[in-house]
Structure 1
Amino acid sequence: MAIKYTEEQLNTVDKSLIIQMFLNQQEELSKAVNQIEQLTKEVQSGNDKLQRMMEQIILSNNARFGRSSEKMDNTDQISFMEVDGNIIFFNESEAVCDLSAEEPEDLEPKPRGKKKVGKKEADMSGLPVNRVNHYMTEEELIAEFGENGWKQLPDAISKRYKFIPAKVIVTEHHVGVYASKKDNRIVKADYPKALLKGSPVSASIAAAIMNGKYVNAFPLYRLEKEFERYGLAITRQNMANWMIRLGETYISVMYDYLHKLIYDYHVIQADETPVLVNKDGRAAGSKSYMWVYRSGYMNPEQQIILYDYQLTRNASHPREFLKDFSGICVTDGYQVYHTLEKEKEDLTIAGCWVHMRRRFEQALQVIPKGSQKGTVSYIAMKQIQAIYREEGKLKDLTSNERLEQRQAIIKPLVDALFMYLKQNQANVSGSCKLQDAFK
């Protein structure tokens, strides 16, 4: 029970006792303040965990039941620019305005193009044609029209597709063997060597398996059944062994060549994704990583895409793969790439806009639709949308023209976006996903 003193009692108390009482009270108050601060932190931590849990539930539901497209529901086009440290917003008309554009010569609507004809002819033009004649006999014509009572008109032509199922034959190579009558020296005639020593696999069968497995995504057991219908006894184990041996013997040579060739590109892209592997010497279901490196989309006729399977996600793998690369590598925010950038003076790591946009999109998804407009996530998404829109207009330009337009049009949009994010970074609170986006 706490002791209470009256004013009269305090007037008679020794001064040293009053000082001691004050100090004890001060210490108790300090402890109470610390406890309150600790409880406040615990409550805030609990709120953050609850907020993150709710955001994860919302995003999980969107992933399961929502649409897969990342397009924004709101199609209003807005963007903003940075002018003397201030953010100036533009609506669609202002954003696309170009006073230097030429006026149209006339206002007559252009006629719509006619529907193309002959599409079926174009589709069939590259296929071999097997002509089948259907003519009436002379007796049938006489019976129909009488003696010399008809004339021949141009043929009516009807084209149809005919599918010829695959068939399998055995190619039997008979190789001439010759021996000298003088010294019993034996010589064989030249003949094509087998793809794999001691194996009946041919280039055509290997190509069929590769096409079925890696292009059409058929499991090997389905291919096994398909070959059974052709009378071939090729097991899935045979096919798996052939794919591995052919990859090591032939495709690895092409892989190494493309690996060197990708170094000639100034800009490449890199990413990694986890894969679960059942048999690699570890426990079933152990997590491994498939790293991918590819050339940019600006070289559509010379695309290079290389996969690099590794057991871990550490920096040693991209360090080895990119050891001779000099240029720009576009990646997500994984810190390993920035570690390499510090190690290699000739390597520049650039952030991926898709990954950045996805962070703000997730932050926007956890906000009720009626409250999204005007939020930091919404404004950032709209600005990124404007950047994408302007970038899409440059795909048919040359490299120099594209650079000029990017510096003139897109760079101000990007600068304004980062200026806006810096101005609002201190105000970010509540949504854990928005905090992640700012990181």
Structure 2
Amino acid sequence: MTPPDLKLPDDVEALKAMVLAMAEKAARADALQNEVADLKARNADADERIERLTQILKAFDRARFGRRSEKLGSPTTDDEQQAFVFEEIETGIAAIRAQVNKGRERPEGKRPPRPRKGFAPHMERIEVVIEPEELPEHAGKQKVLIGEDVSERLDVMPAKFRVIVTRRPKYAFKNEDGVIQAAAPAHIIEAGIPTEALLAQIAVSKYADGLPLYRQEAIYARDKVELDRKLMAQWMGKLGFELEILADYLFDEIKKGERIFADETTLPTLAPGSGSTKTAYLWAYARDDRPFGGSGPPMVVYRFEDSRAGECVARHLKGYRGILQVDGYAAYNKLVRSDRGNDGVTLAGCWSHSRRKFYELHVAESSKVATETVERMAKLWQIEETVRGKSPEARVAARQHTSVAVVAELFALWQKTLPRISGKSKLAEALRYAISRRAIFERFLTDSRIELDSNIVERAIRPQATQCSLYTPSSSICKHWNLTFRRRLTRAPFTPHR
């Protein structure tokens, strides 16, 4: 049966050609239909893979960058490998999306909407104006600007080496004795080849970005610049010595503050002559007055020690008078003893450390009391978010209005629960930790200068597994690797910022 408007030719050959053409058209339609079905299947598979990779990435992200006590499992790889996993997953997702989107047509001049925060205002802007092509039919017509489309793309100028040639001419006066010449400018490396800019580049790359000197040596070699890692290590030692005055100055400024956050962590350190490592300690002291309306810049200093003994912190903070916000380490308690010369120190507790002990039990679903504790504690941080940066009076008023009742309920719950459970249980351990520190935990309720936790210094000390630094964001970053400059090199895994 043929359509009424279809006219068939009388010629047999023409009829054969028409039939062949229709068969070819039908075959192409079938092939196109099969191709569409295949593309749909591939798209569905790709979407499923993207979703699975995204969920894996989020899980790794929580495990790596979440609070230490809130990681849902033990990491199976070190921090550097986890960071590598993130990059590989992101790359894989992008590759899948590029494959799926290949060949898709979109209207001219349009693209899928994507959020953009914009670039920092201090960046140099290079204006490029693309005028439409002048066609013959435009001749004699006057153009009127009615608008424009503006887009911004991020560009970079790769770092390059250059040689600073300094000439100091010598002059003599006719018929006079003597020679005059400008004095040579002072340099950190006297009679050395590096400028101060090169020293800063090497130091920031190594101590801020975790780029070892042997890798920098290979990078610079690509530009035909031979810088031996041993030579660069000597430069860094000299640079550290010159920065000692800055380190001491920053610590003095921190100790002038009304409140100091303190924390310490282990640091694998090369044992000279043994070829192995031993455990040393990195002490961190931070100052940040912004939460209670202070105008001073936040700072943090580090001190390297072979010991975790209380005498270390007593020596570091000798003469300090003010609030010291810390975790539950007993060494800090010695600072309040008058025979230590620090009778003016007031200890403040960190609620995060207490919360972590309960959180571990909460995620294991092994204690309803722990779950209730975590839920009630969450209210304290919610209140702090509303008053951070406000005046001291506003902070105290909010805490007295809501936080006092929450804290009272928590301690009542803990004291009621402790006698009813086994003293050897993890819950009992968490309860004793909190109850025994009630005085320092409650001080934030009446003193606006005290924070709810000491996370400020924890965030500062966490990435320092490979570097020790002094940091003041009031101007630019000033990095000082205390371990190299004062003691010895370390060998430790790289831990990126959260």
Q: Distance in 2 between matches of 1:281 and 1:320?
A: 29
Residue 345 (1) aligns with residue 343 (2): yes
Structure 1 residues 195 and 125, CA gap change in structure 2 (3 angstroms)? same
Equivalences for residues 188-199 of structure 1 within 5 A: 188-199=181-192
Q: Distance in 1 between matches of 2:138 and 2:403?
A: 77
**Equivalent position amino acid for 1:237 in 2:** K
Native 8 Å contact 1:362 1:433 kept in 2: no
Residue 127 (1) aligns with residue 123 (2): yes
Residue 207 (1) aligns with residue 194 (2): no
Q: Distance in 2 between matches of 1:309 and 1:281?
A: 20
Tell me the residue number matched to 2:83: none
Q: Which moved more, 1:379-388 or 1:423-432?
A: 423-432
Equivalences for residues 279-428 of structure 1 within 5 A: 279-280=271-272, 284-296=276-288, 298=291, 302-342=297-337, 343=340, 344-366=342-364, 369=365, 372=367, 375-428=368-421
Tell me the residue number matched to 2:269: 277
Q: Secondary structure at the residue paired with 2:119?
A: helix
Q: Distance in 1 between matches of 2:169 and 2:271?
A: 45
Q: 1:325: Cα distance to partner?
A: 1.1
Q: 1:307: Cα distance to partner?
A: 0.7
Q: Deviations over 1:379-437 (max 9, x none)?
A: 22222222222222211421221122223321232233223222222223166322321
Structure 1 residues 435 and 66, CA gap change in structure 2 (3 angstroms)? farther
Tell me the residue number matched to 1:243: 236
Residue 223 (1) aligns with residue 233 (2): no
Native 8 Å contact 2:335 2:343 kept in 1: no
**Equivalent position amino acid for 1:253 in 2:** I
Q: Which runs of 5+ in 2 are unaligned?
A: 1-58, 72-112, 434-498
Q: Which runs of 5+ in 1 are unaligned?
A: 1-62, 74-116
**Equivalent position amino acid for 2:298 in 1:** Q
The structure with more radius of gyration: 1
Q: Deviations over 1:251-272 (max 9, x none)?
A: 2111111111112211111111
Q: Which moved more, 1:121-130 or 1:395-404?
A: 121-130
Structure 1 residues 133 and 406, CA gap change in structure 2 (3 angstroms)? closer
Native 8 Å contact 2:70 2:360 kept in 1: no
Residue 167 (1) aligns with residue 160 (2): yes
Tell me the residue number matched to 1:433: 426
Q: Distance in 1 between matches of 2:231 and 2:118?
A: 41
**Equivalent position amino acid for 2:352 in 1:** V
Identity of aligned residues (%): 25
TM norm structure 2: 0.58
Structure 1 residues 280 and 325, CA gap change in structure 2 (3 angstroms)? farther
* Number of residue-to-residue matches in the alignment: 323
Equivalences for residues 32-43 of structure 1 within 5 A: none
Q: 1:131: Cα distance to partner?
A: 4.7
Q: Distance in 2 between matches of 1:187 and 1:404?
A: 71
User: Aligned-residue CA RMSD in angstroms?
Assistant: 3.4
Q: Secondary structure at the residue paired with 2:284?
A: strand
Q: Deviations over 1:101-141 (max 9, x none)?
A: xxxxxxxxxxxxxxxx998795375433445566689xx65
Q: Distance in 1 between matches of 2:155 and 2:62?
A: 42
Q: Deviations over 1:300-324 (max 9, x none)?
A: 8611111111111111211111112
TM norm structure 1: 0.65
